[in-house]
């Protein structure tokens, strides 16, 4: 079942990646992040992280947003795990902070002697500071090696994600005569992300990931009144413009252990 869904996900991703909107001029971002992972029990672990997104204006770096995350993961079996968490995103230029609650289920499977496939579905609930949507579903497929390569001890992986938006501030839709025909949220599939990641083991507790992400937005909807990047002919402004980005990222993660090299909490799960 998951292999079929993964093939569909990657096929849609490739088609959208080479579509005209995706090939339009994109913004460049740099994501610098740090995370601490802590095993709380045999099956339970926690993660806290911070990320700063930078953009360039007249060759001067500016903070695009600051991101904070707290997540707890529970391993149900060798193939299944689930997590819940929350995240905050502070946007200095808009003087606002968004907040979301997240729940995610992940399935892992061995597809060959060397390769592993992970499929996940994440559901999000956002606060009113996020105007683009109230709820969001993110379906991701990740293909990676089961063991690190001998070359530099690197663990490469490829991930593609699809983003489904629900709710948010209603958009105004007009017909060819510039008459308003609808006022409704732009529910639909509007974003994809393709990521190539290279994870290096620096030491036993330290890992460094270097990655490139192509973010491309589009309108894969069943109705003209569910689109984003639509023009209001009265004001001439584009409502919810596409946010196409080239992202270069660095993630330094630290695996926290107790002094006895055991999980922090007793084995109660």
pLDDT at residue 267 greater than cutoff 60: no
Give the Cα separation of 240 and 243 in Å (integer).
9
Give the Cα separation of 182 and 224 in Å (integer).
10
Mean pLDDT value across residues 47-69: 95
Give the Cα separation of 107 and 121 in Å (integer).
9
Give the Cα separation of 229 and 240 in Å (integer).
5
Query: In this structure, what DSSP letter does residue 225 have?
Result: G
Which CATH superfamily is 2-255 part of? monomeric porin ompg (2.40.160.40)
Q: Domain map of the chain by residue range?
A: 2-255
pLDDT at residue 13 greater than cutoff 80: no
pLDDT band at 3 (very low <50, low <70, confident <90, very high): very low
Give the Cα separation of 88 and 11 in Å (integer).
32
Residue 254's Cβ-side half-sphere holds a number of Cα atoms within 13 Å equal to: 10
pLDDT at residue 130 greater than cutoff 50: yes
> Which among 48, 45, 123 has a CA at the least distance from the CA of 87?
48
| Cα 88 from chain centroid (whole Å) | 14
Any idea which of 71-80, 207-216, 250-259 has the lowest mean pLDDT? 250-259
Please report the pLDDT score of residue 65 as a whole number. 98
For 190-245, the pLDDT digits (tens) are: 999 999 999 999 998 999 999 999 999 999 998 999 999 999 999 999 999 999 99
The whole-model pTM stands at: 0.86
Please give the C-alpha separations between residue 35 and each of 51, 217, 246, in angstroms, as whole numbers.
Answer: 9, 28, 22
Query: Are 88 and 130 spatial neighbours (Cβ–Cβ below 8 Å)?
Result: no
Residues in the chain: 269
Element containing residue 8 per DSSP (H, E): helix 2-17
pLDDT at residue 261 greater than cutoff 70: no
150 exposure class (CB count in 10 Å sphere: 0-12, 13-18, 19+): exposed
> Which among 139, 136, 124, 137 has a CA at the least distance from the CA of 167?
136
Mean pLDDT value across residues 171-199: 97
pLDDT at residue 165 greater than cutoff 60: yes
Mean pLDDT value across residues 128-152: 95
């Amino acid at each position: 079942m998951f292999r079929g869904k993964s093939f569909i996900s990657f096929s849609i991703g490739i088609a959208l990646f080479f579509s005209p909107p995706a090939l339009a001029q994109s913004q460049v971002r740099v994501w610098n992040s740090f995370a601490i992972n802590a095993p709380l029990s045999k099956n339970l672990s926690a993660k806290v992280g911070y990320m700063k997104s930078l953009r360039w204006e007249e060759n001067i770096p500016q903070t695009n947003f600051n991101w904070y995350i707290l997540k707890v993961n529970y391993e149900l079996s060798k193939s299944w795990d689930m997590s819940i968490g929350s995240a905050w995103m502070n946007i200095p230029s808009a003087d606002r902070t968004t907040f979301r609650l997240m729940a995610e289920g992940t399935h892992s499977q061995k597809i060959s002697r060397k390769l592993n496939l992970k499929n996940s579905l994440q559901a999000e609930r956002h606060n009113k500071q996020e105007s683009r949507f109230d709820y969001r579903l993110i379906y991701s497929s990740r293909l990676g090696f089961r063991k690190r390569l001998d070359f530099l001890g690197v663990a490469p992986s490829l991930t593609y994600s699809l983003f489904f938006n629900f709710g948010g501030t209603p958009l105004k839709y007009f017909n060819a005569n510039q008459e308003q025909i609808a006022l409704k949220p732009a529910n639909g599939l509007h974003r994809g992300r393709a990521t190539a990641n290279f994870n290096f083991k620096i030491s036993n507790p330290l890992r460094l990931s270097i990655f490139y992400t192509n973010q491309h937005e589009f309108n894969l909807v069943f109705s003209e009144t569910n689109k984003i990047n639509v023009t209001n002919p009265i004001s001439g402004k584009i409502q919810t413009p596409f946010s196409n980005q080239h992202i270069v990222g660095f993630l330094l993660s630290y695996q926290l252990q107790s002094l006895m090299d055991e999980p922090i909490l007793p084995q109660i799960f």
